[in-house]
């Protein structure tokens, strides 16, 4: 017996904040679909997102700020309006002196991020609703 989805439209600021790189103060608001994960990420000034790779594809859309972004063997200065494509298993990461906001899209959903959602109590309910509060002060 499947649960009927009751929520289809969300307001970004109402999604719970989930820490993803705790020692750098990097947090995000996740929106999980059946086969895709969207991340509304916020990196504070000086944050360094470690070089990493994963088996899902990722597209990053830079909304605010800038970042010295690494994809494979390339280092790219990204700014608001730029879009990066990260193929599966290609190392990537970056440092933002200014701080930045971006939208990351993962297909399929990134397993490590799903685990963070479970760890911090921000995983959505079966009906598509999200917890109203978590342990992040905004």
Pick from 20, 111, 97, 91: nearest CA to 51: 91
Distance between CA atoms of 20 and 99, rounded to whole angstroms? 15
Q: Is residue 135 part of a domain?
A: no
Q: Is residue 90 part of a domain?
A: yes
Mean pLDDT of the chain: 93
Q: Is residue 87 part of a domain?
A: yes
Q: Is residue 22 part of a domain?
A: no
Q: Is residue 75 part of a domain?
A: yes
The model's pLDDT over 14-68, given as tens digits with 9 standing for 90+, comes to 999 999 999 999 999 999 999 999 999 999 999 999 999 999 999 999 999 999 9
Number of domains forming the structure of the chain? 1
Range of the domain at 90: 33-96
102-106 mean pLDDT: 98
Q: Is residue 101 part of a domain?
A: no
Question: Structure tokens of 121?
Answer: 């109590």
Rounded to 5°, angle at Cα 33 from 132 and 43:
65
């Amino acid at each position: 017996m499947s649960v009927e989805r009751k929520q289809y439209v969300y307001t970004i600021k109402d999604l719970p904040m989930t820490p993803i790189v705790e020692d750098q103060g990097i947090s995000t608001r996740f929106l999980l679909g059946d086969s895709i994960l969207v991340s509304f990420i916020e990196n504070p000034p000086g944050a360094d997102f470690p070089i990493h790779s994963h088996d899902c594809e990722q597209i990053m859309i830079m909304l605010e700020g800038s970042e010295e972004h690494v994809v494979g063997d390339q280092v790219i200065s990204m700014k608001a309006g730029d879009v990066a494509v990260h193929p599966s298993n290609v190392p990537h990461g970056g440092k933002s002196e200014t701080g930045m906001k971006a939208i990351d899209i993962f297909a399929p959903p990134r397993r490590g991020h799903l685990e963070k959602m479970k760890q911090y109590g921000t995983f959505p309910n079966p009906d598509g609703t999200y917890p109203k509060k978590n342990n992040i002060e905004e």
